[in-house]
Amino acid sequence: MTDEMIFAVEGAVGRIRLNRPKAIHALNTAMCDAMIERLLAWRADPAIRMVMIDHAEGRGFCAGGDIRMIAESGATDGVGARDFFFREYRLNHLLFTYAKPVIAFMDGITMGGGVGISQPAAYRIATERTVYAMPESGIGLFPDVGGGWYLSRLPGRTGQFLALTGARIDGAECVALGLATHYVPSDGLDALKAAIAADPGEVDQILAGFAVPPPPARIAGNRERIDRLFAPETLEGVIAALQADGSEWAEKELATLATKSPTTCKVSLRLLAQGRDHADFADEMRVEYRVASHICQRHDFIEGVRALIIDKDNAPRWDPATPEGVSDHVIDQIFAPLPENQEWTPVPL
């Protein structure tokens, strides 16, 4: 067990609280293991009727995973990095298939690993403080933790847009896209949690009483552009469409794409293209684990973490440096199956 997690039972509700505020509750291996252990115990306990996930304090729900540790491992033998991904994806899958309803509070920063533990929930609460993003392409990683499943199922081409650009969206936009189920002002969250803990069987009615209509979603005004300009299935096609459009909005997105790893942008597009055809979330996790196992030791991830997190010069030197330099063969290698005894598997039943 770890003091970076707080577990409690309130009435018939099992509560999971992330408690690593200095890291904006970024997940590490011990936190994933602790959550899996507690979820399995509660799954077998008839007294627990619902699970609630939130954060104990600080300015965000969960900023992602322990990227520095993953990069340090990737720069050597990669064992620690692969172990983290294996366990994190087990946690994601366990939540996705959990027999009891889960409610997640996406209050504040919700990125990467935070997306992975909130999107499987039946109830996903956004607030005016929600900042949601999958920014992995900027550090040579990819939108994992189920990103290939969730983003590929968003309306139009918004999933491809979010995966490639790492754009940050707010709570109203999360509701508009279906990433959140309810919009609740942050000053009402404590009362909402107490009401649910007191009577989890009435969660739908309780949420209806606390939720308010969200403000207009900014992304709605850009949907036509997003669906048109991010329609191509290739990175080169998206860039060409943006260049041909020439609008101020397109130029801004082009500038954003120029900062991303061409390799992981291409990985992201293939992940979403495959993910929308998966019928089983375990298949998604298996593919993402293969990709993560390969990519955590590649140049772009080590370099991206150096540039954005360690040295903070924000000047990563991607290799290859252009989309044209990234061959289909390289992407095939990144998606290649692992030896059978190294493939990802769900938590045993």
Q: Considering only CA atoms, which of 86, 32, 22 is closest in space to residue 59?
A: 22
Phi, psi of 139 (to 5 degrees): -120, 20
Q: Is 277 helix (H, G, I), strand (E, B) or coil?
A: coil
Query: What six digits make up the tokens of 241?
Result: 């469409």
- Greatest extent of the chain over all pairs of C-alpha atoms, in Å: 60
Return d(Cα 178, Cα 159) in angstroms, integer. 11
**DSSP-H helix ranges across the chain:** 29-43, 67-74, 79-96, 113-118, 147-150, 158-165, 171-177, 189-198, 203-210, 223-229, 235-245, 248-257, 262-275, 281-295, 299-305, 328-334
Quick one: DSSP state of residue 27? B
The one catalytic residue in 4, 66, 107, 144 is 144
Phi, psi of 345 (to 5 degrees): -135, 150
The one catalytic residue in 14, 64, 65, 275 is 65
The one catalytic residue in 136, 170, 253, 300 is 136
The one catalytic residue in 113, 116, 140, 166 is 113
Is 65 a catalytic site residue? yes
Is 144 a catalytic site residue? yes
CA 298 to chain centre: 21
Q: Which residues pair with 60 in a beta bridge?
A: 109
Return d(Cα 40, Cα 229) in angstroms, integer. 44
Is 140 a catalytic site residue? no
Instruction: Dump the DSSP string for 31-74.
Output: HHHHHHHHHHHHHT-TT--EEEEEESSSSEEE--B-HHHHHHHH
Q: Which residues pair with 170 in a beta bridge?
A: 131
**Cβ 49 vs Cβ 85: under 8 Å:** no
Q: Which residues are catalytic?
A: 65, 113, 136, 144
